[in-house]
Structures are given as structure tokens and as C-alpha cells.
Amino acid sequence: MTRDAEAALLVGATVIASMGVGLVNLAQGGVIDAQVALTFVVFAISFGSLHVAIRRWSAGASPFLLPLAAILTSLGFIEIYRISPRFAALQRWWLLIAAALAALLLFALRRTGIAPLRRYRYTSLTISVGLLLLPMLPTNWSFPVRGVVAGGSRLWTTLVIGPLTLNFQPGEIAKIVLVIFLASYLSERRPALAASTRRLGRFSIPEPRHLIPLLLAWVASFGILVFQRDLGASLLLFAVFISMLYAATDRKAYLVTGGSLFLVGAAGAAVAFPYVARRISAWLHPFADPADAGYQILQSLFALGSGSLSGSGLGVGTPDRIPAAWTDFIFSAVGEELGLAGSVAVISMFALLVAVGFGIALRSRDLFRKLLAFGLSFVLGLQAFLIIAGVTRLLPLTGITLPFMSYGGSSLVANFLILALLARVSHEEQP
């Protein structure tokens, strides 16, 4: 596919977003207002500027990355607008910011490429740890950066600049910086980590000292669960570490050890922490408390079931009955109004996006770029899997947002930065 075809698909994604807003308006009030034109302009500027940036500074990048992300963003925006026009207005601003930052990242890497990121592995580690610790700051001190407690969890940080107050999730950026660190660290230490020096039953394992990072990752993920009460970030952090370790070494012992540590940690958390036990109970027995603990998941299942094959139609369903439908449960809103067909289309686009990312990793000759592309693609794929599995009751709810589709500035910015990094790796690994 050529860059011109990419541009045509981006125009299509822009039209989808604006037409979707128009259909919602017709279904709810019978009048198409200025929101349609405003949506078209914002999406055209956002996708157009990013397309120009890729064409100018990463011309060899895969032409499938941006169109897939654009269509997912458009579908998510339509449902956000359907549920809350106020949040949709904010999401338009965040889309402009996310596209601008992604284009700026491509500009910054135009001469040096990805390679310099490899040299700052411990700087990346320090930054990621610092970002993960930001929500633990006091909530009531006078410093302009403060922690926030919401729903019993500490996921947010408030930045006060004069009259402006900005809430953001540092963990969204931390996961990108952490993948950069892991790609650099594992590409350098791969020979030692892959070497077999000891036997443990049927498995050959490396020196015990090389297993220390694995144990530290387990402790860190468990610490996030304990102190921030963030089940999703805890699981994502540990899974990314184990997957990248396995990708770098091709050692099944790491998968077995990591899986065992996960099961031990999950069992311990279910016993030690009531909020984890409640999530598991609501997952297994939602009808035991349909008005409280099981309410979210039951409303999600009812919405998905009522969507049938083709859905109720944009603006015709009742996704606003689902708590947090614009964030954690955006997939349920899509399932109700676009039906099974729309749900399968969304899952297929995520699968294609992750497959394109893995393809970039497989074609990369440099191990650092290979691991970076794999790790970033795995983050997108795992997030999509966890939230879709959560709202369909295949797994307990984790509170992770659906990439590109859920409302949230931090998430949208992080996902577009991931897209820019994948585009740059793809460009640099062209034969």
C-alpha cells in the first residue's frame, strides 16, 4: 500500500467520525449541528498533520499503522460523543495534542533515529519509576504536582500551573519509557540471560543473579497493586517484562517462572486485599450483588446482548446506562449500537494493528529495534485484550482503557506516541 492510499484511508476515517456524529444528532434531536463540521476539521487536521509528518520524516514506515489507529479513534469518538458531548469536546482537544506530540517526536528523531534511546537505558528506568511514583505524592500539599485519590486508587496526578489544573495518568507514559529501558537492557544482556548454566528439573536456567530483574519486576508490580490499588497497571507491567524477556532469550523457563510468580501473587492478593477479592467475586458471581458489585459487568453484558448482530444503531441504544461507558466500557457501547458486526470489526482492527507491529519487529535486524517494536505492540495488544475480556466477563475487570477508543488525554497521547515510535522503527528497518 502506498502513502496515497494511506491518505485516502485517513480521509475515510475522518468522514466516519463526522458522519457518525451526524447520525447521532439525527437519532437524538433530528438536527445536524455544527459539531459535524467541527469534528471533520479537527480529525482532518490531526490525521493530516501526522500523515505529513510520517511522509516527511519516516517515509519508509508501514502505511497500515496510522489508518488502523485513525479508524479506531473515530469509532471511539463517535461513542464518546453519543454518551457525553462534553467529554467528546475535550477528546477533540486531546486528539490535536496527541497528533502534534507524535509529529514532534518524529521530527526529533528525523536525524538521529531510534538508536540514541538505547544509550539512555538507566535514564529511562529512572524516568519510568519516577512517573509511577508521582501518584503517591501527597494530595493536600502546596506543591504544584500532587497525587490524586479516585475510587480508592492512586492513578492520577494533578499539575497546577497558575489558574490551569491538569489531571493526568503518569503510568500511561511510564509504560512507554519502561519498554525503551527493557529493549535496551535486554538487547545488551541477552547472551547472559539466554545462557544455560544450571538445571531445575526439566528446565535449564541462567545464573541466579540474572533472575534478580525478574524478581524485582514481580516486586514492583505487586507494589503497584498494594500502594496504588491498580490491578491493571500491575498486570500490564509484569506481563510486558516477562514477554520481552522471553522474546529476547527464547527461554521457556522465564515463562514458567513468571507464570508461577503471577499465580502466587494473584492468589496472595485475592486473600490479602479485599478490593481484589471483590473484583474476582463480581467476575465469578455478578448476580450475587446485581445492584452494587456486579452492576457494571451486568450492564455491560446486557448492552452487548441487546446489540444482537447489527446493533441498535448510532444514537438509538442506551450505553449511558453503563457506568464509565466512555472509558472502561467503550467496547460495550460499540457492541450495543453497532452489534456483533461492529464488535468483530473493532477486534479485527486491533488484531491487524498488533500484527503490523509484530511484523515490524520480525523484520528488524537490530535487536534493540526488534524488542522495542515487539514491546510497544504487545502493550497495545495486551491492553485491548484485557479490557475486552473484562467487559465480556472472560476475565476480571482491570480498569485498563481501550487504546485509541476510550476517553482520556493521557491514554490517547501515549498511544499516538507508541504509533510514532513504531513508524520510526519501521522506517529505519526498510531494506
DSSP result, 229-291: --HHHHHHHHHHHHHHHHHHH--HHHHHHHHHHHHHHHHHHHHH-HHHHHHHHHHH-GGGSTT
Q: How confident is the model at residue 94 (pLDDT cuts 50, 70, 90)?
A: very high
Partners of residue 157 on adjacent β-strands: 147, 168
Grid cell of 26 as nine digits: 439525527
DSSP state of 308: T
Please state the rounded mean pLDDT for residues 359-381: 95
Handedness of CA 123, 129, 132, 137 (dihedral sign): negative
Which of 175, 167, 151 shows the shortest CA–CA distance to 230?
151
Grid cell of 349 as nine digits: 482492527
**pLDDT for residue 190 is more than 90:** no
**pLDDT for residue 253 is more than 90:** no
Contacts 24+ apart (CB under 8 A), 153-158: 153/228, 153/229, 153/230, 153/399, 154/227, 154/228, 154/229, 154/230, 155/228, 155/230, 155/233, 155/399
Cβ atoms < 10 Å from Cβ of 410: 21
pLDDT tens digits, 276-318: 888 888 888 888 888 888 888 999 999 999 988 888 888 888 8
CA–CA distances in Å: residue 217 to residues 223, 259, 272, 419: 10, 13, 20, 25
Q: How confident is the model at residue 89 (pLDDT cuts 50, 70, 90)?
A: very high
Tell how strand 203-205 and strand 198-200 pair up.
antiparallel
Pairwise CA distance, residues 337 & 57, whole Å:
39
Q: What percent of the chain has pLDDT over 90?
A: 48
Please state the rounded mean pLDDT for residues 383-405: 92
Q: What is the pLDDT of residue 227?
A: 72
Contact (Cβ atoms closer than 8 angstroms) between residue 211 and residue 205? yes
Pairwise CA distance, residues 425 & 290, whole Å:
47
Across 104-118, b (16+ Cβ under 10 Å) vs e yields ebbeebeeeebeebb
Across 164-200, b (16+ Cβ under 10 Å) vs e yields eeeebbbbbbbbbbbbbbbbbbbbebbeebeeeeeee
Cβ atoms < 10 Å from Cβ of 132: 24
Helix (H) or strand (E) holding 160: strand 153-161
pLDDT tens digits, 225-243: 667 777 777 888 888 988 9
Grid cell of 62 as nine digits: 508501514
Q: What is the pLDDT of residue 277?
A: 83
Helix (H) or strand (E) holding 199: strand 198-200
Q: How confident is the model at residue 156 (pLDDT cuts 50, 70, 90)?
A: confident
More confident site: 104 or 195: 104
Contact (Cβ atoms closer than 8 angstroms) between residue 357 and residue 377? yes
What is the pLDDT of the chain when averaged over all its residues?
87
Pairwise CA distance, residues 420 & 152, whole Å:
34
Q: What is the pLDDT of residue 250?
A: 85
Q: How confident is the model at residue 102 (pLDDT cuts 50, 70, 90)?
A: very high
Contacts of 56 (CB under 8 A, 6+ apart): none
Pairwise CA distance, residues 90 & 62, whole Å:
30
Please state the rounded mean pLDDT for residues 59-77: 95
Map out the domains of the chain as residue ranges.
Answer: 3-108+274-428, 113-224+231-243+252-261
pLDDT tens digits, 111-130: 888 988 998 888 888 888 88
Q: What is the pLDDT of residue 270?
A: 78
Q: What percent of the chain has pLDDT over 70?
A: 93
**pLDDT for residue 199 is more than 80:** no
Q: What is the pLDDT of residue 157?
A: 85
Please state the rounded mean pLDDT for residues 47-70: 95
Q: How confident is the model at residue 413 (pLDDT cuts 50, 70, 90)?
A: very high
Q: What is the pLDDT of residue 139?
A: 77
**pLDDT for residue 416 is more than 90:** yes
Please state the rounded mean pLDDT for residues 7-29: 93
**pLDDT for residue 329 is more than 70:** yes
Question: Which region holds residue 150: left if phi is over 0, alpha if psi is between -120 and 50, else beta?
Answer: beta
Q: How confident is the model at residue 345 (pLDDT cuts 50, 70, 90)?
A: very high
Contact (Cβ atoms closer than 8 angstroms) between residue 305 and residue 317? no
Say what angle helices 65-83 and 35-57 make with each other, to 10 degrees.
160
Please state the rounded mean pLDDT for residues 155-184: 85
pLDDT tens digits, 127-155: 888 888 888 887 777 777 887 777 667 77
